[in-house]
Every structure is written in C-alpha cells, then in structure tokens.
Structure 1
Amino acid sequence: MTTAVTRPLTVTARITTPDPNPAPDDAYTATVYLNTARHSFDGYQPGHPLAEATRPDNSPLRLVFHPSERIRTHEAAADAAFTVGNHQGIDDNGQTWPGDVRSVSTGDVIKVTGPDHWIVHLSIDPSGFSAVPEPTHLTDITGSRASSRR
C-alpha cells in the first residue's frame, strides 16, 4: 500500500554579491617591485635585484584600478599605483599601502596587467615611466618590508 506524503514547497534563489577582488579581466592590476640595489635612485637597470611588495601577512600586494576617465592606460594605472605607494590614496578596492613597506620611488618597477590582458613593466624614472623588459632578478620579500632606507 502506498501513502501520499506532502512536501513543503522550496524555492532556490541565487543571490549575487559584488566580488571584493574583481578579476583582472575588468580592471588594471598593478604589482610593485621595489628595487633593493644600492644607489638605485638614478633608475632601474636590468639586473638590479627587485622584491615584490607584500601585505602584512606576506601575501602578494595587488592594487586594482577600474577603467575610468582617469585610468585609461597602463601608464595611468602605474601612476595611480605610484600615488597609493606613497601613502596618498587607496586603490579601487579600498586598499592602502602597508605602513611597514617603504614608499614607491625612482628605480622601482611596476607591473601592470590591463583589461586587455597586456602586461607592461614600467620603470619609475626621475620624471615619468619607461617600459622595461620583465625583471629576472627577484629577491626575497624581506627586502621590501620594514625598510625605509636603501
């Protein structure tokens, strides 16, 4: 003998929330490599040792900038990263520059990945930026933390 059972109705809904870390597909992502060579204020030279800037927990620090009237190019995103790296603002995710990482300066390199998936490495020059080949001499992150002098 079969008995009928009544089940309550259920509704399944998808609730979407904004991603706090948007995929690079829709933004410029900047990674700063701090030059740890002595006397590098004249600018980056291939072969200079670089250390990737990290968050306080030593995870990679990625600055995110959405395309806008202000951010239309890789260079504009690098300039925005330079500003954040000098404790003068936040990225588009509200991220600030860590207090225990020295400020970004001449001789450092900023890697910018754009919404078009192009990757550009830009050296910070005394006035502006210069495109450079992808750096090959990366050092331990300890060179970028808690060091305010070179």
Structure 2
Amino acid sequence: MTTAVNRPLTVTARIDAVDSAPAPAVYTATVYMNTHRDNFDGYEPHHPLAAATRRDDSALRLVFHSSDRIRSHEDAADAAFEVGNDQGTDDNGQTWPGNIRSVSVGDVIKITGPDARTVHLSVDSYGFTPVPEPTTLVALTDPRVTHRD
C-alpha cells in the first residue's frame, strides 16, 4: 500500500554575485598658499597659509586615484604640484584656477590617503618636506597669491 506524503515545496534558485570592482583607492589634496612676505624662501610654521579655492570661493580638493603613478602621499603631492602649475588635471578633470598663482616653494600641500592618514608637505626647491599641521590659516585675499582676471 502507498501513502501520500505532503512535502513542503522547495525552490532552488541560483544567485549570481554582482561583479563589482572595488572603488579605487583615493588621495585628496588641498593646497595651502603661503601668504608670508618671504614665502618663496620656504615654509616656516609661523607663516600664514590660505587654502586654494575655486573661482566661486568653494574649497578646491584635487583627487588622485591610486595607480602605478600614484602610490604614496608624496606621489599625490607631486601630482597636485603639477596641476597647480597648469600641467594637467586631477583625476576628476579639475584644472588649477586661473585667479590663483601657481604652486611654489613655501606652499604646503595637505594629502589624505586611502588609509585616512593625512600628511602635510611643504614644497621645497626639489621635492617635499613633511611639516606639522599648519595652525595659521587666513582667507585667500593676499594680492601676491591671487590675481583676479
């Protein structure tokens, strides 16, 4: 004799994981323009600095994705220096504002890396030197830094 057995219905589904590439590691750069009268002699901790801004006075943040060219905070600072001297764009296509002088010796570049570590690097005649976080920040109004079109 056979007996009918009620079994719950079972559904088998195949779920494919979405192949999404991880977001690229990013370095962000903020350039602080040295507004001291001896700014081109190099950065000193007492020198007043002004953050570079866009023409609409919003903060200028340069973005660089980690790559064969950008592997460290110093590499990102070098890329920011290039953008700040009208030698290209950041990875979002931003160029250097025409109303601000180019990045020069004595300026400071703040770099935040993909590990959330932030370093401040002064621009030297050749390369960069780590410096403590600047404490003397001012508005970007010094005529030696800005030259309005």
Matched with 1:35 is 34
Matched with 1:80 is 79
List 4+ stretches of structure 1 deviating above 3 A.
Answer: none
The alpha carbon displacement at 1:146 in A equals: 2.1
Matched with 2:146 is 145
Q: Given residue 146 of structure 1, which amino acid in structure 2 is its aligned partner?
A: H
Task: Calculate the TM-score normalised by the size of structure 2.
Answer: 0.80
Alpha-carbon distance between aligned partners in 2 of 1:43 and 1:145, rounded to the nearest angstrom: 19
The alpha carbon displacement at 1:60 in A equals: 0.2
Residue pairs, 1:129-144, within 5 angstroms: 129-143=128-142, 144=145
**Sequence identity (%):** 67
Matched with 1:18 is none
Maintained 8 Å contact 1:31/1:112: yes
SS in 2 for 1:78: helix
Task: Calculate the TM-score normalised by the size of structure 1.
Answer: 0.79
Maintained 8 Å contact 1:64/1:91: yes
Matched, 1:108 2:102: no
Residue pairs, 1:111-126, within 5 angstroms: 111-126=110-125
Q: Given residue 83 of structure 1, which amino acid in structure 2 is its aligned partner?
A: E
Residues 41-67 of structure 1: per-residue CA shift (max 9 Å, x gap): 121000100000000100000000000
Matched with 2:20 is none
How many residues align? The count is 124
Matched, 1:93 2:92: yes
Residues 73-128 of structure 1: per-residue CA shift (max 9 Å, x gap): 00000000000000110000000000111100000000000000000000001111
Largest Rg, 1 or 2: 2
Q: Given residue 38 of structure 2, which amino acid in structure 1 is its aligned partner?
A: H
Structure 2: unaligned runs, 5 residues or longer: 1-22
Structure 1: unaligned runs, 5 residues or longer: 1-22
Maintained 8 Å contact 1:120/1:131: yes
The alpha carbon displacement at 1:69 in A equals: 0.1
Q: Given residue 26 of structure 1, which amino acid in structure 2 is its aligned partner?
A: A
Maintained 8 Å contact 1:53/1:145: no
Q: Given residue 62 of structure 2, which amino acid in structure 1 is its aligned partner?
A: L
Alpha-carbon distance between aligned partners in 1 of 2:65 and 2:147, rounded to the nearest angstrom: 29
Matched with 1:14 is none
Q: Given residue 67 of structure 2, which amino acid in structure 1 is its aligned partner?
A: S
